[in-house]
Amino acid sequence: MELTWEAGDSWFERTYAVENDDNQTVETLGSQPTLNELRKIERQYGDPTERLDLWQAGLLCADCSSEINDRFAANPAGEILCWDCAMDTDSTTQNGLRVNTDPTKSVMSESHLHTKSLCDHVINVATGCRHGCEFCYVPTTPAIDNRDGMLTDQADVNDPQIDWGSYLLYRDDLPERLHQVLENRDPSERKQTKRGRGIVMLSSGTDCYQDRRTAQITRGVVTELITHDIPVRILSRSPALVRDIDLFRVAGDRITVGSSIPSFEAPLVKAMEPNASPPIKRWEALDQLQQAGVPVFVSMSPTYPTMDEDDFHELLSYFRALGEIVVFHEPINPRGKNFQQCLEAASDSGYDEVAAELQQMRDDRQYWVEYALEQLNTVQQVATRFDGLHVHSWPDDELIRSTSGQLQSKLKAMQQAVSPESFGPIKPESQSSQSELLESHQSFQQLI
């Protein structure tokens, strides 16, 4: 598939078309195709792993008419801009969200998420996130916290943390840039740890399916990763995940697709994740993916202090119904400004009991330690009722530091464990699963 063009009366008048590999025109476009049109065509025709490379394809900038031979982005109307014009464009407000182009140079970053057995690299398709989850740690990380100047320039952001959820900067040309990186870099130079297994995850700092534009970037990125035989993990709170089932099926067992579902109590989830979809919609998306043969996982995180054995039983029974699945679990951690925001959000939504528990956790570290240990243990115990359900717990570093002796050793062993997922030929090294670690010798319950 290729974008072709014909000149009109002058060099600046061009009409575009898309041709398939047999040089047949599959789509005739006007003189100024939008990025949305081009990405849609890419998705509609031919092999799901085929991409339309928009670099050096004869496209002209909608503002200055120069030919696009390098970086590009779209303006609010979706027209394609050269990089200079894109950087001169002011943000616009769409449904209360300030949007613009992300000037970030990096394409794929090494990640510490191997400590959670998730990945070795992350790719983020945007800066900012429209979901605006109250507990989100992203605005406290250097990727946001150290970039207030850029965020002010690009989206009039006053305070990157307080304004989190109200700005979004897209990386439209990421698929093209990733293609260059993967073609030019020796694969052996990529980081590969035992727990991260060389996996590339989308996304750690934004939701990669939060809207059509991010989904279009994500599709291009995933296509590049798959065609370069790189294992991929996708995590999203959006049911729009299902739009790329065709592509995920081609990836086979080199991909796993997951969603965060901390609870099915929709009003509580809405209080904490104000702009994300209801949890049952996320489950339905995973069900659709699983039925299409796509490997799926769930991130049950962060679980709230009022959740008890019955809540976990309900959650895990829904997850078990998805068939072969790995569930990652993490209790909530009382750190930073975002924890205070959770507390206020719970209180504002009438969840007084949740707010009181969070307050107590923040004021009394030992209270949090006991809650976290209790939840990790309860979830692992409930999981034993569901044959073949793997729960991979994430004990926090601070929790480990707050314990000692055998309990601390067990928590460390849990942290070192590799999730039981296979990525094609990349299997977890043989080791005790987390549930065996908890059952063996002295039980976790006795140690708490």
Among Zn ion, ligand SF4, none, partner that 326 touches (CB below 5 to 8 angstroms by kind): none
Which residue lies nearer to ligand SF4 by CB, 142 or 388? 142
Q: Minimum distance between the CB of residue 119 and ligand SF4, rounded to whole angstroms?
A: 15
* Binding piece for ligand SF4, criterion CB under 6 A, among 131-139, 167-175, 294-302, 365-373: 131-139
Near ligand SF4 by CB under 6 A: residue from 207, 224, 244, 357: 207
Q: Return the one option of Zn ion, ligand SF4, none that residue 61 interacts with (CB less than 5 to 8 A, by type).
A: Zn ion
Give the residue, chosen from 100, 111, 206, 419, that forms a contact with ligand SF4 under the rule CB under 6 A.
206
Judged by CB under 5 A, the residue of 68, 74, 85, 151 near Zn ion is 85
Q: Is position 73 an interface residue for Zn ion (rule: CB under 5 A)?
A: no
SS (H, E, C) the chain: CEEEEEECCCCCCEEEEEECCCCCEEEECCCCCCHHHHHHHHHHCCCCCCCCCCCCCCCECCCCCCECCCCEEECCCCCEEEHHHHHHCCCEEECCEEEEECCCCCCCEECCHHHHCCCCEECCCEEECCCCCCCCCHHHCHHHHCCHHHHHHHHCCCCCCCCCCCEEEECCCHHHHHHHHHHHCCHHHCCCCCCCCCCEEECCCCCCCCCHHHHHHHHHHHHHHHHCCCCEEEEECCHHHHHHHHHHHHHHHHEEEEEECCCCCHHHHHHHCCCCCCHHHHHHHHHHHHHCCCCEEEEEEEECCCCCHHHHHHHHHHHHCCCCEEEEEEECCCCHHHHHHHHHHHHHCCCHHHHHHHHHHHHCHHHHHHHHHHHHHHHHHHHCCCCCCEEEECCCHHHHHCCCHHHHHHHHHHHHCCCCCCECCECCCCCCCHHHHHHCCCCHHHHC
Q: Which does 129 bind (CB under 5 to 8 A by kind): ligand SF4, Zn ion, none?
A: ligand SF4
- Minimum CB separation from Zn ion for residue 248, in Å? 36
**And the tokens for 348?**
């504002």
Contact between 402 and ligand SF4 per CB under 6 A: no
Neighbours of 390 (CB within 10 A): 18
Interactions with ligand SF4, residue window 176-205 (CB under 6 A): 205
State in angstroms the smallest separation of the CB of 133 from ligand SF4. 3
**Residue among 100 and 378 whose Cβ is closer to ligand SF4:** 100
Q: Tell me the window of 57-65, 205-213, 281-289, 319-327 that interacts with Zn ion (CB under 5 A).
A: 57-65
Is the Cβ of residue 70 or residue 309 nearer to Zn ion in the bound state? 70
169 counts as binding ligand SF4 under rule CB under 6 A: no
From the CB of 342, what's the least distance to Zn ion, in Å?
A: 43
Interaction between residue 237 and ligand SF4 (CB under 6 A): yes
For ligand SF4, which is the closer residue by CB, 161 or 431?
Answer: 161
The Cα 118–Cα 204 span in angstroms is 10
Q: Which of 19, 63, 148, 439 binds Zn ion (CB under 5 A)?
A: 63
Give the nearer residue to ligand SF4 in terms of CB position, either 176 or 207.
207
Buried b (16+ CB within 10 A) or exposed e, 17-54: ebeeeeeeeebebeebbbbebbbebbbeeeebeebbeb
User: Minimum Å distance from CB 132 to ligand SF4?
Assistant: 6
* Residue 133 interacting partner from Zn ion, ligand SF4, none (CB closer than 5 to 8 Å by kind): ligand SF4
Chosen residue from 131, 171, 282, 329 binding ligand SF4 by CB under 6 A:
131
Phi, psi of 90 (to 5 degrees): -80, 160
Q: How many positions of this chain bind Zn ion (CB under 5 A)?
A: 5
Residue 222 interacting with ligand SF4 (CB under 6 A) = no
Nearest distance from residue 231's CB to ligand SF4, in Å? 21
Pick from Zn ion, ligand SF4, none: which does 85 bind, CB < 5 to 8 A by kind?
Zn ion
Q: Is 79 in the site for Zn ion (CB under 5 A)?
A: no
Does 60 engage in binding with Zn ion (CB under 5 A)? no
Q: Does 136 bind ligand SF4 (CB under 6 A)?
A: yes
Q: How many residues are listed for the chain in this entry?
A: 448
* Inter-CA distances, 193 with 130, 144, 339, Å: 32, 26, 31
Task: Quote the least distance from Cβ 342 to ligand SF4, whole Å.
Answer: 12
Residue 233 within binding range of ligand SF4, rule CB under 6 A: no
Token pair listed for 274 = 């104000």
Do residues 339 and 358 lie in contact, with contact meaning Cβ atoms separated by under 8 Å?
yes
- Please report whether residue 138 would count as binding ligand SF4 according to CB under 6 A: yes
Site residues (vs Zn ion, CB under 5 A): 61, 63-64, 82, 85
Site residues (vs ligand SF4, CB under 6 A): 129, 131-133, 136, 138, 205-207, 237, 273
